[in-house]
Amino acid sequence: ARAQSAHYLPCGISLQLDSGEVYNLSCCDCCPSGCSKCASGCVCKGKTCDTSCCQ
């Protein structure tokens, strides 16, 4: 079984998937529209993050 840790990523990095797709996980990409900044240590899951990340 493959580890699932790649589903939880810090903001501001790029991830290349096995399929070759590249995701640029900037902070506000992980937060609802209207995000102006993100708390340090924010962790993204796909295109969502804990609301405490969004400021």
With beta carbons less than 8 A apart as the criterion, state whether 47 and 29 touch: yes
- The two beta strands, 13-16 and 43-45, are unpaired
Residue 55 is assigned to a structural domain of this protein:
no
pLDDT at residue 21 in the model? 73
Residue 43 is assigned to a structural domain of this protein:
yes
Q: Which residue has the tokens 């589903």?
A: 7
Tens of pLDDT, residues 1-53: 444 444 445 566 667 778 877 666 666 556 655 555 556 666 655 555 555 66
pTM (whole model) above 0.75: no
How many structural domains is the chain composed of?
1
Task: Please tell me the distance from the alpha carbon of residue 47 to that of residue 55, in angstroms, as a whole number.
Answer: 16
Task: Please tell me the distance from the alpha carbon of residue 29 to that of residue 35, in angstroms, as a whole number.
Answer: 9
Neighbours of 50 (CB within 10 A): 13
Question: Which domain does 28 fall in, by range?
Answer: 5-50
